[in-house]
Structure 1
Amino acid sequence: MPQIKRVFEGFFKKSLLFRITTLLLAAGMVWLVYTNTIGKKSSMPQFQTAKVEKGTIVSTVSASGQVLTTNILSITTEASGVVKKVNVKDTDRVFAGQKLAEVTLDTAGLEKNAQAFASLVSAQNGVNSARNSYRSAVATAEKVLDEVKGHDKDETFTQKESRTKAEVARDNAYDGMKSAEANLAAASLSYRSTTPIITAPFSGVIGSINLVEGMVLESAASTTSINSQRVAVIKGDSLPVISVGLSEVDVPKVKVGQKVTVTLDSLADKTFTGVVATVDRVGATISNVTSYTAKIKLDSASGEILPNMAATANVILDTKTEVLIAPASAISTRDGISIARVLKNGKEEEIQVEAGLVSDTGVEIISGLAEGETVITGTISAARSSGTQTRSIFSGGFGIGGGSR
């Protein structure tokens, strides 16, 4: 201590310039030592790491769209008058053709029903006539064909003309019969909608009934035209269908029968499952962007799913279990070669790996890495307080591009 005291006393006896110079030299020495040891060490990059682990990896294609149908159909009537009786209530299960309600028709309703019945009878007569014409045309064509049978090579012009006329008449008669049958179907529906008996169009569960015994079903302003009114809805037993658009990169990977998971924007906490039912391979181009429609049939129905709800579907391309998986951010591609960044003895190394399936967050490692090995998923430079993380150049390689996950 006396020696240190004498050194300080001697130092302060020196001139001011000497003391300042000495202090500056000492500070410079300290800074030099720091920057070459501690400072240099602290400026080295810091790595974010993860372990290669065994697990299940799922490769998917993502597409967005909307609920196409939930198999909910409005039950309507063109009848007008007073509701006489309501035979069902909400949540009742009904069968096709079951009587739901009865209406006592007013004058406008009776007139509309009578007109519809007349149209139905006329359409039925038209079908009968068209079928007779078709049978006659078929008989004539068969007779002509019998006459020219065996004359394929020496058929005369007259025979060919007769055969052609008979075949054309037969085909026209067939088309006329089909047209008459379509008119009959339309007339039948129109008549049924004007009758006082309201029935279920198919089997399902009734809901949203807005009929009350004694209430009046109003007619339109014109007595010759009555508006169709919704009296209830019926939810069928078939399953909801989702329609989504696929990019031209993804459509070759999607096939009928593949499993799908579906989420709806309005039901974000629920996930539904289904299968790919159809895939349109023709597509449509809008603003130089081609999209291909796929329809997905859900495995189960839900009363919460409504028509036109926005949906996101993940089509499962492949699934593997008990495989090595590395984070996608640890794998990059370079000239078609998969590269993994690994941490060994505190230093970064790059090694070539063989990659398999790719998911949203992981890559299957076929060879090149072992279970438990440490890979680098990001780098944080100490010189940048914001902690900027380096990005992997992995960008949907290995043939799972576009919307693939």
Structure 2
Amino acid sequence: TQASGVVSKVYIENGQNVKSGDKIAELDLDMVGKQRSSQALASYLSAKNNLENAKINYYALQSDLLTNWKSFMDLAQTSLYENSDKSPHTANRQLPEFMITNVDWLSAEAKYKQQANIVRQTQTSLNSAWGTYQQTSSTIYAPISGKVTGLSLQVGSVLTAQSNTSGTAASQKIASIQTDASPIIQVNLTQVDTPKVKIGNKVTITFDAFPGKSFSGKVISIDTIGTVSSGVTTYPAYIKLDTEVPEIFSNMTANANIITQIKDNILIVPLSSVQTTSGSSTVRVMKDNQVTSADVEVGESNDTQTEIVSGVSEGDIIITGQTNTTTGSTGTTTSPFGNTRGGFGGAGGLGGAAGGGQRR
């Protein structure tokens, strides 16, 4: 609201459901509030008068258009300008009489269309003026339907006039209205991940606020224009949860794992175990207590795992890292891949936040 004054009545409570247009509260406007409301009312009445005048001109031009159209059609259908088979007499239609009548009709049509645009513009101005008047009204109304949260008003509360840097009236928040729509989660994709992600991809989401819990959703939009910050380009993707979760609030931190591809019955190894040089990939394999290098062909990968298309077999022991055992000596960390065939997901680990796109 842009109104200012003392709250005289509050119609609703926190947690209560309201419909668009329901009364929230009443104010006894102070001097500034009354001045703003009077100015807004005057602007609204002026906009309403402008619309009425625009409609009067619109109807007059519509009548003029129909008159000129009839004159043109009556003339065009005479034997001088139309052949017996109803085809136009092209040569005679170059005569001044016909051309002037035709131009009069086309001019009337252009003026009519221009006035129709003016009517639409003045209607928009009227809607805007009405919205501003409601913002300054002593009665505060619910702008949308939903559940009221964070209501800060009580009888006797004082709302002071707010202004922006240009000195014009500014709105102040008195409550939020939460809709029934599922929250929208925004995540930022890297340049590498963006081409892989498609609208409709399934997503698993976790929230820092709910350890041990995960939620499902899907990608509903991708901003392919992107934004640049500190020389790094990211592309926002928007995810909608499959179900409504009342405990999720706007601006909660979320982590999303976007499934771009699913492969079944494949061989996978930890990403850290694959070494790639000049386009060739290898892994270190433990055989007969000896470490050997094996050339492999890799397939899809995510942040933690890589698909092995060929080069090693199920059950091979792969060296995944190196550990220090004593000063000056090292040991190897191995992992036996005796049961590595299963599902394989796509890109993941994309940080984001629960957005308020469906919450107000």
Normalising by the residue count of structure 1, what TM-score does the alignment of the two structures yield?
0.62
1:327 corresponding residue in structure 2? 270
Mapped partners of 1:326, 1:241: distance in 2: 34
CA distance in 1 between counterparts of 2:306 and 2:188 reads 26
1:317 to 260, 277, 290: 260
Which of 120, 124, 139 is residue 178 of structure 1 equivalent to? 120
The one-letter code of the counterpart of 2:111 is: A
CA contact (8 A) 1:327 1:363 kept: yes
Q: Structure 1 CA distance, aligned partners of 2:303 and 2:259?
A: 12
Per-residue CA deviation, residues 10-40 of structure 1 (Å, 9 max, x unaligned), is xxxxxxxxxxxxxxxxxxxxxxxxxxxxxxx
Q: CA deviation at 1:78?
A: 0.7
Match for residue 94 of structure 1? 18
C-alpha separation in 2, matches of 1:368 and 1:358: 16
Contact 1:246 1:291 in 2 (8 A): yes
1:194 corresponds to which of 107, 123, 136: 136
Q: Is the 8 A contact 1:260 1:313 kept in 2?
A: yes
Is 2:337 the counterpart of 1:370? no
- For residue 280 of structure 1, the aligned residue among 216, 219, 223 is 223
Structure with bigger RCO (C-alpha 8 Å, 6+ apart): 1
1:248 and 1:142 mapped to 2: Cα distance? 59
Partner of 1:345: 288
1:235 aligned to 2:159? no
For 1:355, the equivalent position in structure 2 comes to 298
Q: Contact conserved, 1:241 with 1:295, CA < 8 A, in 2?
A: yes
Rg comparison, structure with higher value: 1
Q: 1:369 to 1:162 in 2, by over 3 A?
A: farther
Give secondary structure in 1 for the equivalent of 2:249: coil
Q: Residue 249 of structure 2 aligns with which residue?
A: 305
- Tell me what 2:83 maps to: none
Q: Per-residue deviation at 1:234?
A: 1.9
In structure 2, give the amino acid aligned to 1:128. Answer: E
Q: Distance in 2 between matches of 1:120 and 1:360?
A: 58
Measured at CA, do residues 249 and 159 of structure 1 come closer, stay the same or move farther in structure 2, by a change above 3 Å? farther
Structure 1 unaligned residues grouped into runs of 5+ = 1-75, 391-399
| Equivalent pairs, count | 315
Return the alpha-carbon distance in structure 1 between the equivalents of residues 208 and 89 of structure 2.
67
Q: Is the 8 A contact 1:247 1:402 kept in 2?
A: no
Aligned-pair distance for 1:365? 3.1
Aligned to 1:3: none
> Structure 1 336/342 Cα, relative in aligned 2: closer, same or farther at 3 Å?
same
Q: 2:151 aligns to what?
A: 209
For 2:79, the equivalent position in structure 1 comes to none
| Counterpart among 235, 239, 254 of residue 292 in structure 1 | 235
Q: Do 1:77 and 1:230's aligned partners in 2 also have CA atoms closer than 8 Å?
A: no
- Give TM-score scaled by structure 2 length: 0.69
Q: Aligned residue for 1:53?
A: none
